[in-house]
């Protein structure tokens, strides 16, 4: 174990928080709930800011949640929600809004029109979601579209658009390490897109391997574990599969807990009733937060004294355990900031009913 006296003192906690926050999710983006909202539904868009709890990451959907005949209306609905309705401001200062475009591999013209409409805008989305990614070429295509259509802010010439990639087939899962490494390398070189997370598309994945998705999801477990490892090893958010049964809350809770145990950081949801179970499952437990705070206090004391590994609650503590505690507290702080922004920021940021 490393000598704790050689480590950063605990008074440099903000810097440590930033470091371990990157392990929880790039750009400290929080997405316990990754909630799809059809951008063609003005009613659903208008209700979004008044819901409690708020989704961590609302996703204005231009893809699967929208009928082909309504694609143009959805595109305009997303643009209007961002610019005229000022949805991000209504949701509160700490909350991002994403847009899921159509997949270029299947509907290139639709995808290009999506990107042009939402990015050549006074208020582009905070995050882009690219579905059905099969290779690094799909990400390169999106980067090329941004070069053509993104109305880049003059105040941030080096800024990049956070990107969430959807992995939805067996071939894509096998190629996932190469896809992510290529996207992250391109981000460092050109800076138009910055990968921050990945989404596991279970239904399309099952179709790609010729199996039916069962209620207990047995056929997805190996793939989900492999997916989570690929994402988390690169410090990306890992968003778990959607649950279409919106009435069985206990089943949803079990599924959330299983996903968290695999390393997932959040879950796709399709209904407001799924928000609270997801937030509870993917938030640090109060008792563990208290444990982490006490452990870090002990770490500060021993580090200041130049001591090495120490005993805490009957356990020998070394640096890996300290990092776990720091990561948990960073996650807890990010979630608190998000909740406080919702309560105090924006026109829609009143207290929950």
**DSSP secondary structure, 91-130, as one string:** H-TT---EEEPPPTTT-HHHHHHHHHHHHSSSS--SEEEE
Domain map (residue ranges) of the chain: 4-13+286-344, 33-281
Rg of the Cα atoms in the chain: 21
Catalytic residue among 56, 203, 318, 339: 318
Is 293 annotated as ligand-binding? no
118, 156 Cβ separation under 8 angstroms: no
Residues 6+ apart with CB under 8 A from 256: 240, 267, 277, 278, 280, 281, 282
Pair of tokens at residue 22: 């990157």
Is 301 annotated as ligand-binding? no
Cα(152)–Cα(155) distance, integer angstroms: 9
* Stated pTM of the model: 0.82
Is 204 annotated as ligand-binding? yes
- In the residue annotation, 245 being an active-site residue is answered as no
Average pLDDT across each block of 10 residues of the chain; the chain has 353 residues. List them in order. Answer: 37 43 54 95 86 91 95 95 87 85 95 96 94 97 93 64 97 98 89 94 96 92 98 95 95 96 96 95 83 84 76 81 80 76 50 32
Q: Is 211 helix (H, G, I), strand (E, B) or coil?
A: coil
Pairing status of strand 193-200 against strand 161-167: parallel
Right CATH number for 33-281 from 3.20.20.60, 3.60.150.10, 3.30.2290.10, 3.40.50.300? 3.20.20.60
pLDDT computed for residue 190 by the predictor: 74
């Amino acid at each position: 174990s490393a000598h704790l006296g050689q480590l950063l003192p605990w008074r440099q906690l903000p810097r440590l928080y930033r470091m371990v926050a990157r392990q929880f999710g790039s750009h400290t983006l929080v997405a316990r709930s990754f909630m799809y909202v059809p951008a063609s539904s003005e009613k659903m868009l208008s209700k979004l800011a008044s819901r409690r709890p708020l989704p961590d990451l609302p996703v204005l959907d231009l893809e699967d949640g929208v009928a082909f005949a309504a694609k143009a209306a959805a595109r305009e609905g997303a643009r209007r929600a961002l610019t005229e309705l000022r949805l991000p401001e209504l949701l509160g200062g700490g909350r991002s809004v994403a847009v899921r475009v159509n997949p270029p591999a299947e509907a290139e013209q639709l995808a290009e029109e999506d990107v042009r409409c939402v990015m050549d805008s006074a208020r582009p989305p905070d995050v882009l979601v690219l579905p059905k990614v099969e290779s690094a070429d799909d990400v390169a295509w999106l980067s090329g579209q941004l070069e053509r259509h993104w109305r880049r802010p003059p105040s941030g010439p080096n800024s990049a658009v956070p990107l969430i990639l959807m992995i939805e087939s067996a071939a894509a899962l096998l190629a996932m390490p190469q896809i992510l490494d290529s996207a992250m390398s391109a981000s460092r070189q050109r800076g138009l897109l910055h990968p921050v997370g990945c989404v596991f598309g279970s239904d399309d994945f099952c179709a790609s391997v010729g199996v039916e998705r069962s209620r207990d999801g047995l056929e997805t477990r190996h793939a989900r574990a492999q997916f989570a490892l690929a994402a988390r090893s690169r410090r990306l958010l890992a968003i778990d599969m959607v649950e279409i049964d919106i009435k069985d809350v206990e089943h949803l809770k079990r599924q959330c807990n299983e996903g968290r145990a695999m390393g997932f950081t959040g879950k796709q949801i399709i209904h407001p009733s799924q928000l609270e179970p997801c937030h509870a499952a993917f938030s640090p437990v109060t008792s563990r937060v208290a444990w982490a705070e006490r452990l870090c206090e002990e770490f500060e004391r021993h580090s200041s004294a130049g001591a090495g590994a120490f005993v805490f609650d009957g356990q020998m503590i070394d640096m890996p355990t300290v990092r776990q505690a720091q990561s948990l507290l960073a996650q807890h702080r990010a979630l608190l900031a998000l909740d406080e922004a919702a309560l105090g920021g924006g026109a829609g940021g009143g207290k929950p009913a």
